[in-house]
Amino acid sequence: MKIDILTLFPEMFSLFNESIIGRAKEKGLFEINPVNIREYSKDKHRKVDDYPYGGGSGLVMGVQPIRDALKEIKKANGGPVIFLGPKGKTFDQNTARRLAKEDQLIFLCGHYEGIDERLYEDIDEEISLGDFILTGGEMAAIPIIDSILRLREGVLGRDESSVEESFSENLLEYPQYTRPEVYEGQRVPDILLSGHHENIRQWRRYQMLMITKERRPDLYAKHQLSKDDLKIMKKFTKDQEK
């Protein structure tokens, strides 16, 4: 996968040189190319913003440097142009899965009061990280790109580890435990020590359902309960009533 990122702060994306993602990058599983928008400015001071027509507070990122940067990038990257902005659809796991299928992507990180409206002609999709304000699009681009990359084959090392995770079915993940078996009086649930794989699977599924119902009812409402889910919920509800 090839990802180009139009940004005013290219050094921020050195984060992708670290940890699991960094090792995948070293293997050549993806390429990230931060592009400094200022390098395309025709202003002698490399200015990329200006005051808005009609008045108002703040500054607006101009057409010229961004459009020229996009023209150059598109010579080698034919992927969709994604703008990180507040008017876009909120990013979620389904969007991550969809974008992970692309071989090329271009991200545009906004700043100040946004971008000149004429630039929307160059943008294929606008994505928001959520209903809150960030200092720049880079802050949104980093977690979004990370969530996309980890779905690419080989990036996590074990492909199955990206499947049974939070949000994969609009469900949160089940509780996890490791050694020691007892610490300061707190014990690992007996069922996880039983060695009975089917009972463990059912317990974990029940935990996913109940945790999501309690903590994220909005997600739980989207989840389609299967016959297996209903059977598991009935079983563990009866066990708790005994």
Known binding-site residue numbers for S-adenosyl-L-methionine: 110, 129-134
Binding region: 110, 129-134
- End-to-end CA distance of the chain, in Å? 54
What angle separates helix 137-149 from helix 19-26, to the nearest 10 degrees? 70
DSSP E strand boundaries for 62-183? 81-90, 104-109, 125-128, 182-183
Q: How many other CB atoms are found less than 10 A from the CB of residue 49?
A: 20
Residue pair 212/171 in contact by the 8 Å Cβ criterion:
yes
CA–CA dist 32, 30 (Å, integer): 7
CA–CA dist 242, 239 (Å, integer): 5
